[in-house]
Structure 1
Amino acid sequence: MLILLPPSEGKAFPGDGPPLSLDSLSLPELTPARESVLTALEEVSARPLAEARTVLGLSSRQAEALPRNRELRTAATLRAADLYTGVLYDRLRLGELLAGPAAARVDTSVLIFSALWGVLRPSDTVPPYRLSMGVSLPPLGPLGAFWRAHLTETLTAVARGRLVVDCRSTAYAAAFRPGPEIAEHTVAVRVLRQTVVDGVPRRSVVSHQAKAVRGAVAHSLLTAQETPQTPGELAILLADLGYQVELTSPARGGGPQTLNVIVSG
């Protein structure tokens, strides 16, 4: 099983580990691409404040991250498991999982997407940064398309023969779209809220709460005694764990299935 996660906008700061070593990160074939994005981010972050903010899409409050972006090569690092914060990671509790007996399995079962690093495993150590996948970063262009060109072959090999549980947001899904070989074993997790209006159940897509639910689902899968091999087995396992789920087929053949997780209220 392979769980794909988005990063979080919020990040822990400061780190307490040694400076960045690109060569030590997992999936070393991505090192040249990581170096390209890192260099481009440093250069943009060194531009005049207003210009840098505009390119990176930063608010005045977020502009405090620009000095950090300029010092990424020398800044203290921390594990990706500890770097990312927010409701998804609060519910996922990666640090706790990496301290347990299944740490090695957890580390190889999770990939965290990043606009700067492409993807990270939970044990990879990097400095805090600010960069969104929705940015068009000079001279590389839109980062979703840039990373898709560099991630597709690598992640197709990583995912081959495994059930892929996709918990990413739309922006980060653009960086890797499973091809036919992988899509039939891929499940995209969607969270729906169910309410009853005049006795009629109604459902709607939720956003903020979806992050918490996806974090909880990922934690449940990583701590379960069973490892599902197919979308059907995934749905059965989550139902056994107390989730209300529905598995739906793609509108067109060959695409990922969707796993709807239903929450009330």
Structure 2
Amino acid sequence: MLIVLPPSETKANGGDGAPLDLGALSFPELNPVRKSIADALLALDDVAMREALKISTKLDGEITANRELWASPTMPAIRRYTGVLYDALDAGSLDAEALSRITIGSALFGLVRATDQIPHYRLSGGSKIPDTGAATSPTMKSRWGKRITEALRAAAPSKGPVVDLRSGAYLTLGPLPGAITVRVESVQEDGSRKVVSHFNKHYKGILARVLATAQIDFGPTDGAPEIAAAARDSGLSVEITGSDSLTLIV
């Protein structure tokens, strides 16, 4: 099984790992694009970087973090990313087997495994970084092309089903046809359903933890029914809404 998580805008500071080494990251086929994006980002002056990142001067610490991309300490990606999804996941309590099931999407790195060592940085899936001398600023989607999709496809066969919990810009960076996606809905007083927006990541974090820690040897032919069954066994309410889609009801 492979669980694909979105990154988070908020990240933990510091770390005790050696500086970033692209050669040590998983999915090495993504390294050329990783390097080109990093080079384009660091070629910007502070004003241009602030504009590309869509941040105010109050967040200039994020610019400093980017400037120190190749020299700052690293920590495992699962600890670097913070926020409501990662709080619900409670990554610090996951064992090695559970962590091996987790991959995280990223605008800068494309994909990383939970234990890959990465530095603090700032870049979102919706950012546009101009190239030196270029008249236009390529989107992250155009920079990555089909590479993330191809990397996920290559990783999927030996890992069983792929549960893709990314959404928005991060899903468009590298969608994987056939991956199981999850919609979160709440039940209203009148019995109707409403898509959960604010706490969407929280519930996806809970589901990710359930699946990562499930004592099930998922196989390559397993799909939505098996994922739904595992979630239900942990007390979650899940509906199968398509051959590769589920709805988590909260």
What is the TM-score when the length of structure 1 is the normalising length?
0.86
The 5 Å alignment of 1:56-135 reads 56-97=53-94, 100=95, 103=96, 105-135=97-127
Residues 34-55 of structure 1 show CA distances to partners (whole Å, capped at 9, x for unaligned) of 11111111112xx143x32112
| SS of structure 2 residue aligned to 1:31 | helix
Deviation at 1:74, TM superposition (A): 0.6
| Residue 244 of structure 2 is aligned to residue 257 of structure 1 | yes
Residues 44-100 of structure 1 show CA distances to partners (whole Å, capped at 9, x for unaligned) of 2xx143x32112211333232101101110111111011000010011122321xx3
Cα contact 2:147–2:174 (8 A) shared by 1: no
Residues 97-149 of structure 1 show CA distances to partners (whole Å, capped at 9, x for unaligned) of 1xx3xx0x334311101111111101100110000010111226110232243
1:252 aligns to what? none
Match of 2:241 among 242, 245, 248: 248
Distance in 2 separating the partners of 1:92 and 1:19: 26
Distance in 2 separating the partners of 1:53 and 1:80: 24
| SS of structure 2 residue aligned to 1:188 | strand
The answer to which of 146-155 and 25-34 deviates more is 146-155
Distance in 2 separating the partners of 1:230 and 1:191: 18
What is the TM-score when the length of structure 2 is the normalising length?
0.91
Cα contact 2:62–2:122 (8 A) shared by 1: yes
Match of 2:192 among 189, 194, 202: 202
Q: 1:202 to 1:59 in 2, by over 3 A?
A: farther
1:170 aligns to what? 168
Cα contact 1:111–1:119 (8 A) shared by 2: yes
Percent identical: 41
Distance in 2 separating the partners of 1:38 and 1:175: 17
2:134 aligns to what? none
Give the AA of the match of 1:59.
S
Aligned residues: 241
Distance in 2 separating the partners of 1:95 and 1:241: 20
Give the AA of the match of 1:88.
L
2:140 aligns to what? 143
The 5 Å alignment of 1:34-53 reads 34-44=34-44, 47-49=45-47, 51-53=48-50
Cα contact 2:3–2:164 (8 A) shared by 1: yes
Match of 1:193 among 186, 196, 212: 186
Deviation at 1:238, TM superposition (A): 1.1
Match of 1:237 among 207, 230, 237: 230
Residues 230-257 of structure 1 show CA distances to partners (whole Å, capped at 9, x for unaligned) of 21111122112111111112xxxxxx62
5+ unaligned residues in a row in structure 1: which ranges?
Answer: 250-255
Q: 1:61 to 1:205 in 2, by over 3 A?
A: farther
The answer to which of 221-230 and 88-97 deviates more is 221-230
Residues 3-40 of structure 1 show CA distances to partners (whole Å, capped at 9, x for unaligned) of 01000111000122111111011111111111111111
5+ unaligned residues in a row in structure 2: which ranges?
Answer: 132-136
Distance in 2 separating the partners of 1:31 and 1:48: 25
